């Protein structure tokens, strides 16, 4: 009987393969977690902006008709207008008339609440005065 010390090539390959697979699974899970967390933040940001727009309408009997980046009046009701977590790759969309508005964002995990052509086709999640559009 020989007293072997060390590992065979097969044992090293098996362990290495298992480590690579576990690392890949961890990275994929982490990537999915990051996408989900950015989408949750986008929905929360739009809800926050929507709340400020409703307070603005309560005070002025109309919604702002300027773009989201040009808004100054609703900032009375919101400290700063939030930006997309992946700005400038993705941005929030706003379109308003005196009696209606549309807020939009692009969700990385998909969404289907926007009508075709809404937001210029750049978003897949839309909110209006009565919730999701």
Tens of pLDDT, residue by residue over 28-66, are: 999 999 999 999 999 999 999 999 999 989 988 999 888
Residue 4 lies in a domain: no
The DSSP result for 54-79, as a single string, is HHHHHHHSS---S-GGG--GGGGTSS
Residue 103 lies in a domain: yes
Residue 3 lies in a domain: no
Domain that holds residue 104: 9-132
Distance, CA of 32 to CA of 108 (rounded, Å): 10
Residue 58 lies in a domain: yes
Residue 107 lies in a domain: yes
Q: What is the pTM of this model?
A: 0.81
User: Residue 12 belongs to what H/E stretch?
Assistant: helix 9-60
As for how many domains the chain has, the answer is 1
List of the chain residues with pLDDT < 50: none
Residue 1 lies in a domain: no
């Amino acid at each position: 009987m020989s007293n072997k010390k060390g590992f065979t090539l097969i044992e090293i390959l098996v362990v290495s393969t298992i480590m690579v697979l576990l690392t890949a699974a961890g990275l994929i899970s982490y990537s999915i977690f990051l996408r989900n967390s950015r989408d949750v933040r986008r929905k929360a940001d739009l809800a926050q902006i929507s709340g400020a727009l409703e307070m603005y309408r309560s005070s002025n009997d109309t919604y702002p008709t300027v773009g989201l980046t040009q808004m100054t009046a609703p900032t009375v009701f919101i400290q700063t207008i939030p930006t997309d977590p992946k700005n400038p790759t993705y941005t929030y969309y706003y379109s308003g008339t005196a009696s209606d508005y549309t807020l939009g964002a692009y969700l990385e995990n998909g969404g289907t609440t926007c009508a075709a052509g809404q937001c210029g086709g750049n978003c897949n999640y839309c909110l209006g005065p009565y919730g999701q559009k």
